[in-house]
Structure 1
Amino acid sequence: MQAHANKKSFSLVRQGKRSQAEVKRELRLVDGKVFKLCVEDGRIILAPKKLIPADQQYFWTEEWQVRELEAQADMQTEYVDHFDSMEDYLTDLEKKDKAPVSKPH
């Protein structure tokens, strides 16, 4: 079994009640890690995987999720307007420029 990219580690594991703990300790696994398991030519291959693509991980940060909830709340209030045309939108912007309304926090 390969514990790290440059370090090979081998051990014998007998199937039984304690096997999971032995493999976990040998590979230095922590609960919650996800692996792709392949059986290839009688060999078991575990490859670490992330369920969320790297370019989308920002979306699942606590800070981003708080902002998402704020945006959803805003969409259900007066802070979000809907327009039938770009002209209506621009007219509304002009009105707001003349008499600004601040959003309460």
Structure 2
Amino acid sequence: MDKHLGFSSVSADDGTIVVPPEVRRQLGLDRPDTVVEFVVRDGALLLLPRVAVHPNDVWFWEEGQQSAEREAEEELAAGDISPAMTGEEFLAYLKGMIDEKPGEG
């Protein structure tokens, strides 16, 4: 359902659009570093609030990582998981990987 919230103008100098305070609060656009996606649909402009991805987290959204995440989710759903390792077991596992010679594993 549409809710009319008023009008705003676009600055001819730099294209700035002022979003009414009520809309900013309702959609969480009043938080620092808010990102808005612009979508044109059937001649209408939609502004969609989005969550910004911190530059340190961009790797997580790359296709290779997302593929690995999907694979892990499928393994979890199928119950194909190993019990958790203790810290000592994990370090021993990593040491074994380092000590392994190429072509042996």
TM-score (norm 1): 0.32
Bigger RCO of structures 1 and 2 (CA < 8 A, at least 6 apart): 1
* Structure having the larger proportion of residues in strand: 1
